[in-house]
Structure 1
Amino acid sequence: MHNPTSKTIVNVLILYLCSSFLLVSFFAYIYYDYQKEIYKEKEFESMKIKAQEFYSLLQDYHESMSQEIEYPKFDDYNSAIFDIDKNIIFSTIKNKNIDLNKIYYQKNPNSYFIYEMKPYYMGAAFIVIEQETKFSFKELSYKIVSFSIIVILLIVLTSLFLVKLILKPLRQNAALLNRFIKDTTHELNTPISTILTNIELLEKKEFEPSVEKKLKRVKMASLTISNLYEDLVFLLLNHKISSQNQLQNINEIIENRIEYFNLLFSAKKLKVDYIQNDKLEIVIDKKKIIRVIDNIISNAIKYTNENTTITVEVNKNSISFIDQGIGMSEAEIKDIFKRYTRFNNIQNGFGLGYNIVYSIAKEYNIDIKIDSKIDEGTCVKLNFS
Structure 2
Amino acid sequence: MQDLINKKHLFKLSFVYSFLIIILICIPAYFYMQSEIQSYKYNQASQLEQQGLNIQRAIYDFNNSKSDIFYFPKSFSFNAYVYDKNDKIIYSTANKILNGNNAILKKYSLNENRLKAKTLLLIKELNFKKIYLKISLLTISMGIFVFISAYIILKQTITPYKKANSYLDRFFNDAMHEIKTPLGILQLNLELLEEKDKKAKEIKRSLNAVKTLLLTYEDIEYMMKQKRVSYTKEIVDFTIFLKQRVDMFESLAASKKMKLKREIKDNIFLEINRVELQRIIDNTISNAIKYSDESSEVIIRLNSNNEQIIFSVEDFGKGIKDTTKIFNRYHREESIKGGFGIGLNIVKNICEKNNIKIDVKSKLKEGSTFIYLFS
RMSD (Å) for aligned C-alpha atoms: 4.6
After superposition, where does 1:5-154 map in structure 2 within 5 Å? 12-51=13-52, 73-76=72-75, 77-80=78-81, 87-88=87-88, 90-97=90-97, 105=100, 107=102, 111-115=103-107, 127-131=120-124, 137-154=128-145
Please report how far the alpha carbon of residue 193 of structure 1 lies from its aligned counterpart in structure 2 after TM superposition: 2.8
Q: Is the 8 A contact 2:106 2:121 kept in 1?
A: yes
Q: Partner of 1:251 in structure 2? A: 239
Aligned counterparts of 2:68 and 2:256: Cα–Cα separation in 1: 117
Q: Which shifted more, 16-25 or 343-352?
A: 343-352
Q: Partner of 1:102 in structure 2? A: none
**Residues 1:268 and 1:51: Cα distance change in structure 2 (over 3 Å):** farther
Please report how far the alpha carbon of residue 299 of structure 1 lies from its aligned counterpart in structure 2 after TM superposition: 4.1
Residue 281, structure 1, aligned to residue 241, structure 2 = no
**Residues 1:270 and 1:342: Cα distance change in structure 2 (over 3 Å):** farther
Q: Is the 8 A contact 1:196 1:219 kept in 2?
A: yes
Within the candidate set 346, 356, 372, 1:368 is matched to 356
Q: Partner of 2:173 in structure 1? A: 182
**Residues 1:329 and 1:358: Cα distance change in structure 2 (over 3 Å):** closer
**Residues 1:132 and 1:238: Cα distance change in structure 2 (over 3 Å):** closer
Please report how far the alpha carbon of residue 90 of structure 1 lies from its aligned counterpart in structure 2 after TM superposition: 3.8
Residue 193, structure 1, aligned to residue 184, structure 2 = yes
Please report how far the alpha carbon of residue 132 of structure 1 lies from its aligned counterpart in structure 2 after TM superposition: 5.9
How many corresponding residue pairs?
355
CA offset digits 1:11-40 (Å, max 9, x no partner): 643431221232344454444333222111
**Residues 1:267 and 1:82: Cα distance change in structure 2 (over 3 Å):** farther
Please report how far the alpha carbon of residue 226 of structure 1 lies from its aligned counterpart in structure 2 after TM superposition: 0.9
Q: Is the 8 A contact 1:279 1:314 kept in 2?
A: no
The amino acid of 2:19's aligned partner reads C
Q: Partner of 2:280 in structure 1? A: 292
**Residues 1:42 and 1:321: Cα distance change in structure 2 (over 3 Å):** same
Match of 1:343, SS state, is coil
* TM-score for both structures, normalised by structure 1: 0.70
Aligned counterparts of 1:114 and 1:262: Cα–Cα separation in 2: 101
Please report how far the alpha carbon of residue 254 of structure 1 lies from its aligned counterpart in structure 2 after TM superposition: 1.3
Q: Is the 8 A contact 2:15 2:147 kept in 1?
A: no
Match of 1:370, SS state, is strand
Please report how far the alpha carbon of residue 206 of structure 1 lies from its aligned counterpart in structure 2 after TM superposition: 6.5
Q: Is the 8 A contact 2:90 2:117 kept in 1?
A: no
Q: Partner of 2:214 in structure 1? A: 226
CA offset digits 1:70-126 (Å, max 9, x no partner): 8883222443356899x5454414354456xxxxx564xxx4313375xx8569886
Match of 2:168, SS state, is helix
CA offset digits 1:245-302 (Å, max 9, x no partner): 7654321221222232234445667664432345212455545532332133334445
The amino acid of 2:184's aligned partner reads S
Match of 1:312, SS state, is strand
Structure 1 spans left out of the alignment, 5+ residues: 100-104
Within the candidate set 334, 337, 343, 2:331 is matched to 343
Match of 2:262, SS state, is strand
The amino acid of 1:113's aligned partner reads L
**Residues 1:55 and 1:2: Cα distance change in structure 2 (over 3 Å):** closer
Please report how far the alpha carbon of residue 41 of structure 1 lies from its aligned counterpart in structure 2 after TM superposition: 0.9
The amino acid of 2:281's aligned partner reads I
Q: Is the 8 A contact 2:284 2:313 kept in 1?
A: no
Report % sequence identity: 24
Aligned counterparts of 1:155 and 1:140: Cα–Cα separation in 2: 22
Aligned counterparts of 2:234 and 2:89: Cα–Cα separation in 1: 99
**Residues 1:289 and 1:311: Cα distance change in structure 2 (over 3 Å):** same
Match of 2:150, SS state, is helix
